[in-house]
Structure 1
Amino acid sequence: MRKFLAILICKLGYAIGRRIGKGSSLPGKVALKICPDILSRVQLPRHIIAVTGSNGKTSTVEMIAAILRADGKTVVYNKEGSNQTEGVATMVLTHATFGGRVKADVLLIESDERYAARSFRFFHPTLFVITNLYRDQMTRNGHPEFVYDAILPALHPDTALLLNADDPLSSCFARGRDNVKWFGLDRCSVSADAPTGAYHDGAYCPVCRAPMEYDYVHYNHIGAYRCTACGHRKPTTDYTATALDLDAGRLTIDNAVTVELSFRSIYNVYNILAAYAACRECGVSPDTAAGVISRYILKNGRMQKFTLGSHHGTLLTSKHENSIAYDTNLRYIRGAGEAPCTVLVIVDAVSRKYYTSETSWLWDIDFDLLNCQHVERVMLCGRYASDLAVRFRFTAIPPEKIHVGEDIPEAAALLQEQGDEDLYVVTCFSDRDKLLDLPAVKKEAL
């Protein structure tokens, strides 16, 4: 009776929530109150894929779902992005019959890295994809190794792992396990000889703390690493980006299939690799997977084209308090071409959940990436514009290029009246619509 009631209440709550624009986690929370072990009482599909990590979860899950559906599979996944325990419960129960059977070929779960152990307390994935572990939301997550320890209990012995071979910390999840597959990127045109960025979290081995050496890196400390003492090193990859030309927007996987990139970012390459590998592990053919991914436009709103006055704009959304997410978007701007541009950086909210004014993470972002000839002006605005201005004083960007103003509508009005150069906006999820919803901004279809 409790199982039936929990499923009923969850379905009703979700239906009501959709009408008012809410309801992705609360129905599951109520269902778990009614029947705390409800997730152990439902009949799940044979294939259960979980995706977690600091960055790239939503994008990777979205691509996996598209590929699997193109292969004829019925997929249930948390497309709203609610990825904590209650959100997972909502997704599972709203797609279950009143008898408790989830009607799908594949259950695909984006899982919050901190809550993975709770989400998979009553069932375990058949395949667990871990994208990466980076500095992320310090107020909540502290340090990447703290997040590593939070994920570890969620990894059931029978669960197959799909890991990023180029991430020194994520690769440690393979220790003591045989059921592991790897994805990674060979040296390519964007690779550097040494770690880049404002800090170096990969300086020491996560296993034995000895100094780490690198043959090459693709960004920050992600690349071909090796410990000078214990032998921890990048493993041989099962799914490999063997060639990459970001200028041409072309990626080659396993020397066999070519993917045309709609978003020319090294970060997107890793999301594509993870999605491709996960689907191949589910039996999807290389051509089917590559065909779906080619020119695939993500639906999660992380990139938005718009016009403002005579400016053609691109809004790049970064994850809250996550320096590598910001670095990735800044690197995209730096490599976008030689056309003159203005960059608008907005920090008006710090966190969607933890209401602090903690801005030390701004010092982890490599804003010097904007110190290039085609970036003619950098505008800083939002409630934390002054914090940004202090941070920018410690970059090599000429002070005359930097303009500070707290008010977002005023910055938009100024841009509307002046110039016609390209415009890039770098901000977070909570702040993106504070610009896009202004009357002067006209959103375009990607």
Structure 2
Amino acid sequence: MRYFALFLGKIIFFLLKILGRSGGSLPGKTAIRFCPDMLSYFKYPKITVLVTGTNGKTSTSNIIANIFKRAGYKTVSNSKGDNIINGITSLLIKNSNFAFEIMADALIIEVDELTLAKQLKNIKASDIVITNFFRDQLDRAGEMESIILKISKAMENYKGRLFLNEDDPNVKRFSKISKDIKIVSFSLDKEKNANMENFDAKEGKFCPICNGILEYEYYQYSHIGKYHCKNCDFKSDIPDYLGKNINYEDNTFEVEVSANSEKEFDEISNKKIEKYKTSINATYHIYNLVSALAVCKTYGISSDDINTVFKNFNLGIGRMEKINIGDKKILLNLVKNPTGCNEIIKYIGNNENEKALIFLLNDNHADGRDISWIWDVNFEQINNLKYAIITGKRAYEAAVRFKISNISENISVEKDIDKAIAKMLDTNMDMYVISTYTGLFDIRKKLLDFKA
């Protein structure tokens, strides 16, 4: 049955190509109906990297894939973020032969957290990268702790490498799963915007080993930072790859590599320090870059190839995306949970100019039905907001949140997206659009239509 499912998936790809469509997840969805465990039959490349976590997995996986391509590897990846079983199966069907062999030197797959927990047993992965864990879409995924326990269970027989964010205690805990797993850690040194206290929604209050209280030396953002448990020896340690000396003015940062990670080091310091250039200077993006660097350095890819990708990497649709309409400049951002939204709010808040903002809130299945997360977002940090235009299916609930935040005297609800855009463009302020997932592509298309 698996061969029939593979053949059927390829036929669907062929027919969709004739119709001028990309195919998306339909081939995989159809194939799985006939062969539910289809992922177990593919013959994976020796380099098969899975990237998971709440935030940053799309960017991180795309950075890794671009670096491998730059280094001359034939690379396959789900660059558009089709990260659940249907999309991943479609990716493999498209890039395999009829013997189920993946035709690539390197396979880089972004994987949804729940999908990883369910499908890891079927995927022969060489490496897994975990970026971070935050509360996200509680109605679909459940509480964060539930997801972590499911992934931990799935990794009991895993024998590859784990690339872990040392600054997230809920990721660090995976270093305790098994002695058979090779751990490679990454983190950032204390950066200039780090705080001694943090009032963001935090998931790192308690030790995941003994349930004691975690004390923080500082917070980079949310519960990400330097911590230790008051009751046991659980703490953030010196990582294998440390990002440091972030310069937000010239978009550069350094990476310090430990002696356990590479062979060539300064004889005195026993450390190797390299400088890199980045296209985006946000703290959360530097975490993505350092994690990608850790993976690629493990495979001996040169610093020159890595730096070339870092300098020119585009985050993609809805991720710090700049759209120009005449002389108007708009920054478009996708948000999915309070932590991601808070980081965007901080970025916007660093701009002292007068601002106009469209906030689009939907509650479709792909967004998550539960919108209570907007009450964990620090909208109050948007300074000098002169005009807030609220749209989307749950616009009125979002408007109440904005009203209570008391950040602007001019808050309006406009359910018609075209009119919302027109209202924003009628101002002479710095312009921002923040949207949940199902509204992103619609409002982006309308922005580009205005551009045309």
TM-score using structure 2 length: 0.89
* Percent pairwise identity: 29
1:299 is aligned to 316
The separation in 1 between residues aligned to 2:405 and 2:423, in whole angstroms, is 25
Offset at residue 222 of structure 1 (A): 0.4
1:409 is aligned to 418
Matches within 5 A, 1:122-133: 122-133=122-133
1:250 is aligned to 252
Deviates more, 1:231-240 or 1:18-27: 18-27
Residues 65 and 108, structure 2, Cα contact 8 Å, conserved in 1: yes
Residue identity in the other structure for 2:430: D
Are 1:331 and 2:346 an aligned pair? yes
Matches within 5 A, 1:20-419: 21=21, 23-155=23-155, 156-178=157-179, 179-197=182-200, 199-254=201-256, 256-308=273-325, 310-319=327-336, 322-335=337-350, 337-347=351-361, 349-353=362-366, 356=369, 358-370=370-382, 372-373=383-384, 375-397=385-407, 399-416=408-425, 418-419=426-427
The separation in 1 between residues aligned to 2:184 and 2:77, in whole angstroms, is 22
Distance 1:302 1:440, change over 3 A: closer
Residue identity in the other structure for 1:351: N
The separation in 2 between residues aligned to 1:365 and 1:127, in whole angstroms, is 33
Deviates more, 1:20-29 or 1:112-121: 20-29
The separation in 2 between residues aligned to 1:392 and 1:442, in whole angstroms, is 27
Residues 59 and 300, structure 1, Cα contact 8 Å, conserved in 2: no
Deviates more, 1:145-154 or 1:44-53: 145-154
Deviates more, 1:265-274 or 1:29-38: 29-38
Give aligned pairs, total.
Answer: 433
The separation in 2 between residues aligned to 1:4 and 1:316, in whole angstroms, is 42
Offset at residue 390 of structure 1 (A): 1.7
Q: Secondary structure at the match of 1:430?
A: helix
Stretches of structure 1 that go unaligned for 5 or more consecutive residues are none
Residue identity in the other structure for 2:176: R
The separation in 2 between residues aligned to 1:32 and 1:400, in whole angstroms, is 52
Q: Secondary structure at the match of 2:121?
A: coil
1:432 is aligned to 440
Deviates more, 1:12-21 or 1:2-11: 12-21
Residue identity in the other structure for 2:163: L
Offset at residue 351 of structure 1 (A): 3.0
Deviates more, 1:25-34 or 1:325-334: 25-34
Residue identity in the other structure for 2:185: W
Deviates more, 1:63-72 or 1:301-310: 301-310
Deviations 1:124-172 (A, max 9, x none): 3111101111010111122111110121233233121000101111111
Offset at residue 242 of structure 1 (A): 1.6
The separation in 2 between residues aligned to 1:67 and 1:294, in whole angstroms, is 11
Q: Which runs of 4+ in 1 moved over 4 A?
A: 439-444
Residues 239 and 273, structure 1, Cα contact 8 Å, conserved in 2: yes
* CA RMSD across the alignment: 2.2
Distance 1:164 1:414, change over 3 A: same
Distance 1:5 1:217, change over 3 A: same
Residues 128 and 161, structure 1, Cα contact 8 Å, conserved in 2: yes
Offset at residue 437 of structure 1 (A): 2.6
Distance 1:38 1:413, change over 3 A: closer
Distance 1:169 1:439, change over 3 A: closer
Stretches of structure 2 that go unaligned for 5 or more consecutive residues are 257-271
1:16 is aligned to 15
The separation in 1 between residues aligned to 2:359 and 2:403, in whole angstroms, is 15
Residue identity in the other structure for 1:313: I
